[in-house]
């Protein structure tokens, strides 16, 4: 049961004692007029002054107590707000009579959120601090914080109780501040380029826009099933048909697939579509986008990622089939022969589905031999048409598409192509996808007749792209699990984890 722990009960009793003396332990107002970062900044001159204090300056700050040391008639605290940490000096004789001994010492402790007024001074150890003239509690914390020096070691607990993770780890807050800035800068970049931000449905009558297994829900009023969107692509392209020439959506997508270091059932991406452009134009704008992010985030272009170094100033480009032998080391004479690929994969003891077509097998080779080797930003171009159901065929090589995927540190970050705007070709591709679904591929596209009908009215030559925001933030913050860049990642129910642990123990 909640709150049965004896330490929590002691804290609840302290909250009641505060109420008994007329102090509300859960105040609804604060007189704070200065953040901690501002206090430290505007008073930094005192560090170099002769007096080492200025009693004519008065500030009111607020924050959570992270450290508490009593020394008889005085105490040192450290409080933290979103902007930083500040040391507070509290002396008995500077507070109202009886407050220090009867209220402060007995009922205020680490974890509580307090408001303190006073003046800046420098301690004997040279730390800029605030000398308290007034102190009051704003929020009584009845659950104690984890031990200071060890913090939260259990990652599962960090993800489940992100609020506690954020309280204890300022570096975690910095990661999510960067994530927020990335999304804001992304929006600003595309708006500056003349793109219009739009919103499209999150519940679709047909699961389309990408090869993925959808989540299914039910609409009670209509009495029909709906699919949480796996991608907004088909709706955004309808808008291009309708006459908009540059649109984007920063969107949440949902895919009913496995979870691992780079996959979460719901994730964030940006998709944008640009009329009268090709995938080659998207390569250019993608480079500009990264330059914009690095400039405005004040990041060096050479970033660590685990044991790797990613040089974001070095973008390269190579066709997929060429990458198989130049990067992957696959024999060049087999990469365009289905039977030779099957023989090669069997010789290498790789799982191989002999019913796959040539393009699918080339994709398997790429996944096995090339992807992990793409450390610096690399555009892989000219994907086989069999694994690109929505991309436009290349005019000179109709078995390939005008498409690229961007890989960084061995992970796909973006997918883009010149869009297919031939309604008959699109209909044929959808029909082949239906055949694949009937053959057992539960991630294959459904037929979307309305989208094909939209194309029949004419869609201008268009290029479209999706960029995974979560994976991009992972690269920029040197995080190696997608759960470390999602505030509230998907987690197994606690009982499932307990059962799994017990099974492993037995």
- Give pLDDT, residue 429: 84
Residue 130: which of 84, 167, 83, 77 has the closest Cα? Answer: 77
3 state SS for 42-103: HCHHHHHCCCCECCCCCEEEEEEEEEEEEECCEEEEEEEECCEEEEEEEEHHHCCCCHHHHH
Other CB atoms within 10 A of residue 440 CB:
8
Residue-wise pLDDT tens digits, 443-486: 666 788 999 999 999 999 999 999 999 999 999 999 999 999 99
- Give pLDDT, residue 434: 80
- Give pLDDT, residue 194: 98
Alpha carbons 299 and 293: distance in angstroms, whole number: 8
Strand order in the sheet with 203-204: 203-204, 224-228, 216-219
Q: Both tokens of residue 36? A: 């901690």
CA 403 to chain centroid: 25
Least confident of 52-56, 203-207, 443-447: 443-447
Q: Both tokens of residue 425? A: 């070709």
Helices (H) and strands (E) in the chain, counts: 15, 18
Helices 338-347, 358-369: crossing angle, 10 deg rounding: 40
Alpha carbons 173 and 190: distance in angstroms, whole number: 26
Q: What percent of the chain is modeled with pLDDT above 70?
A: 95
Alpha carbons 436 and 57: distance in angstroms, whole number: 74
Least confident of 151-160, 162-171, 420-429: 151-160
* Terminal alpha carbon distance of the chain: 27
Average pLDDT over residues 324-353: 97
- Give pLDDT, residue 193: 98
CB 107 within 8 A of CB 12: no
CB 61 within 8 A of CB 79: yes
Residue-wise pLDDT tens digits, 291-303: 999 999 999 999 9
Helices 170-192, 279-297: crossing angle, 10 deg rounding: 130
Given a cut of 90, whether residue 410 has pLDDT beyond it is yes
Given a cut of 50, whether residue 287 has pLDDT beyond it is yes
3 state SS for 327-381: CCCCCHHHCCCHHHHHHHHHHCCCCCCCCCCHHHHHHHHHHHHCHHHCCCCEEEE
- Give pLDDT, residue 155: 82
Higher pLDDT among residues 135 and 436, named by residue: 135
Sign of CA dihedral 184, 190, 191, 195: negative
Partnered with residue 51 across adjacent β-strands are none
Residue 315: which of 284, 280, 281 has the closest Cα? Answer: 284
Average pLDDT over residues 128-140: 97
Average pLDDT over residues 280-288: 98
CA 314 to chain centroid: 24
Average pLDDT over residues 432-446: 72
Residue-wise pLDDT tens digits, 383-404: 999 998 888 999 999 999 999 9
Average pLDDT over residues 122-140: 97
Any idea of the CA torsion for 476, 478, 482, 486, to the nearest 10 degrees?
Answer: -70
317: enclosing H helix or E strand: strand 316-319
- Give pLDDT, residue 501: 45
CB 376 within 8 A of CB 408: yes
- Give pLDDT, residue 154: 78
CA 62 to chain centroid: 29
At residue 208 the predicted structure's pLDDT band, cuts being 50, 70 and 90, is confident
Q: Both tokens of residue 407? A: 């890989």
CB 197 within 8 A of CB 249: yes
Supply the DSSP symbol for 31: -
- Give pLDDT, residue 2: 86
3 state SS for 411-430: EEEEEEEEECCCHHHHHHHH
Residue 130: which of 180, 160, 89, 163 has the closest Cα? Answer: 89
Least confident of 43-47, 298-302, 488-492: 488-492
Q: Is 142 helix (H, G, I), strand (E, B) or coil?
A: coil
Residue-wise pLDDT tens digits, 181-191: 999 999 999 99
CB 414 within 8 A of CB 441: no
Residue with tokens 């949480």: 228
Q: Both tokens of residue 226? A: 């709906």
Ramachandran region, residue 217 (left: φ > 0; alpha: ψ -120 to 50; beta: rest): beta
Output the average pLDDT for the chain: 93
Q: How many CA atoms lie within 13 Å of 258's alpha carbon, on the beta-carbon side?
A: 3
Alpha carbons 343 and 320: distance in angstroms, whole number: 20
Q: Both tokens of residue 239? A: 């808008």
- Give pLDDT, residue 443: 61
Residue 485: which of 171, 188, 81, 83 has the closest Cα? Answer: 171
Given a cut of 90, whether residue 18 has pLDDT beyond it is yes
Residue-wise pLDDT tens digits, 26-43: 999 999 999 999 999 999
Alpha carbons 297 and 5: distance in angstroms, whole number: 44
Given a cut of 70, whether residue 311 has pLDDT beyond it is yes
Q: Both tokens of residue 131? A: 């000398």
């Amino acid at each position: 049961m909640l709150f049965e722990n004896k330490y929590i009960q002691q804290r609840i009793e302290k909250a009641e004692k505060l109420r008994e003396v007329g102090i509300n332990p859960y105040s609804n107002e604060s007189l704070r007029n200065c953040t901690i970062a501002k206090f430290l900044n505007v008073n930094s001159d005192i560090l170099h002054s002769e007096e080492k204090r200025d009693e004519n300056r008065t500030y009111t700050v607020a924050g959570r107590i992270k450290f508490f040391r009593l020394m008889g008639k005085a105490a040192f605290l450290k409080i933290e707000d979103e902007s930083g940490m500040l040391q507070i000096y509290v002396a008995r004789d500077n507070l109202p009579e009886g407050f220090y001994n009867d209220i402060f010492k007995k009922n205020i402790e680490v974890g509580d959120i307090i408001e303190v007024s006073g003046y800046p001074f420098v301690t004997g150890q040279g730390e800029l601090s605030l000398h308290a003239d007034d102190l009051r509690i704003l929020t009584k914390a009845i659950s104690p914080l984890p031990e200071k020096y060890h913090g939260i070691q259990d990652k599962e607990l960090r993800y489940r109780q992100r609020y506690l993770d954020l309280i204890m780890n300022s570096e975690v807050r910095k990661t999510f501040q960067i994530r927020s800035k990335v999304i804001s800068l992304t929006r600003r970049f595309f708006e500056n380029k003349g793109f219009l931000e739009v919103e499209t449905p999150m519940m679709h009558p047909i699961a389309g826009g990408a090869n993925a297994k959808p989540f299914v829900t039910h609409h009670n009023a209509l009495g029909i099933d709906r699919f949480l969107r796996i991608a907004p692509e088909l709706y955004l392209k309808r808008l291009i048909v309708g006459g908009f020439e540059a649109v984007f959506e920063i969107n949440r997508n949902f895919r009913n697939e496995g979870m691992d270091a780079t996959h979460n059932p719901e994730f964030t991406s940006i998709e944008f579509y640009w009329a009268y452009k090709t995938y080659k134009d998207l390569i250019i704008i993608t480079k500009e986008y990264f330059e914009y992010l690095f400039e405005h985030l004040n990041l060096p272009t050479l970033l660590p990622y685990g044991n790797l170094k990613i040089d974001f100033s070095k973008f390269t480009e190579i066709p997929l089939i060429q990458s198989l032998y130049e990067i992957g080391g696959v024999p060049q004479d087999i990469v365009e022969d289905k039977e030779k690929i099957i023989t090669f994969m069997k010789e290498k003891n790789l799982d191989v589905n002999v019913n796959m077509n040539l393009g699918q097998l080339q994709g398997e080779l790429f996944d096995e031999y090339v992807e992990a080797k793409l450390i610096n930003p690399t555009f892989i171009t000219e994907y086989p048409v069999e694994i690109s159901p929505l991309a436009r065929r290349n005019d000179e090589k109709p078995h390939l598409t005008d498409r690229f995927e961007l890989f960084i540190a061995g992970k796909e970050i973006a997918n883009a192509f010149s869009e297919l705007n031939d309604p008959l070709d699109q209909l044929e591709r959808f029909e082949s996808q239906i055949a694949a679904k009937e053959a057992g591929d539960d991630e294959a596209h459904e037929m979307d007749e309305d989208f094909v009908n939209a194309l029949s009215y004419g869609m201008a030559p268009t290029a479209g792209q999706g960029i995974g925001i979560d994976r991009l933030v992972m690269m920029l913050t040197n995080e190696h699990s997608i759960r470390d860049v999602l505030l509230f990642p998907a987690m197994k129910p606690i009982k499932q984890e307990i059962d799994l642990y017990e099974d492993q123990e037995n």
